[in-house]
């Protein structure tokens, strides 16, 4: 499992960087076109939106792994260590349950996108909808890995 998590780390990191770079590129093309051309290409907004959504999908799991989400410290810090561990375990179990349900519906949603096409770029919308599958799988991977290793995300 450790080697699979390392492979996922690398893949998700590079996916996040690539999609963020593509997003920035699309926005720069749009800015340039609005400033220096008679009309801006219509595809840049849709491409930027797709790149942004994919960047978020790739980054969601690693954010969970690195504890980059918001905590409500006013409650958590007042709890005794045993209650913190119990609360953290409960949150991780609920995260797994939520994202299993999310994954089920994301797969169905992505399947619906196979018959739709994007308005300007004309790619199958399953590509855009598939970002939700990537997000669910990456969060599930890191939540299950955290449960498997029994590490509390916070001291």
Each residue's pLDDT tens digit, 2-36: 889 999 999 999 999 999 999 999 999 999 999 99
Structure tokens at 63: 């954010």
In a domain, 154, yes or no: no
Confidence bin at 154 (pLDDT 50/70/90): low
What is the spatial distance between Cα 100 and Cα 137, in angstroms, rounded to a whole number? Answer: 9
Per the structure block, which two tokens stand in for 13? 């990191």
Number of domains in the chain: 1
| Cβ neighbours, 10 Å, residue 101 | 11
pLDDT at 107: 97
Instruction: Evaluate whether residue 155 is within a structural domain.
Output: no
Specify if 36 maps to a domain.
yes
Burial class (CB in 10 A: 0-12, 13-18, 19+), 82: exposed
* Mean of per-residue pLDDT scores for the chain: 91
Looking at the domain assignment, is residue 72 inside a domain? yes
DSSP state letters, 66-116: TT-S---HHHHTTS-HHHHHHHHHHHHHHHHHHHHHHHHHHHHHHHHTTS-
Greater model confidence, 128 or 76: 128
Query: What range defines the domain where residue 96 resides?
Result: 2-149
Specify if 82 maps to a domain. Answer: yes
**Residue 130 domain flag:** yes
Least confident of 42-46, 50-54, 76-80, 96-100: 76-80
């Amino acid at each position: 499992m450790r080697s699979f998590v390392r492979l996922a780390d690398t893949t998700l990191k590079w996916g996040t960087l690539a999609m963020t770079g593509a997003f920035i590129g699309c926005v720069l093309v749009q800015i340039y076109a609005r400033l220096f051309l008679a009309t801006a290409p219509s595809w840049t907004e849709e491409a930027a939106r797709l790149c942004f959504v994919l960047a978020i999908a790739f980054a969601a799991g690693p954010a969970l792994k690195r504890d980059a989400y918001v905590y409500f410290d006013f409650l958590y810090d007042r709890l005794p260590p045993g209650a913190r561990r119990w609360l953290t375990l409960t949150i991780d179990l609920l995260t797994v349950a939520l994202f299993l349900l999310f994954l089920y519906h994301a797969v169905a949603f992505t399947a619906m996108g196979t018959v739709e096409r994007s308005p300007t770029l004309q790619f199958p919308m399953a590509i855009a909808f598939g970002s939700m599958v990537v997000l669910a799988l990456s969060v599930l991977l890191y939540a299950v890995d955290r449960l498997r290793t029994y590490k509390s995300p916070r001291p």
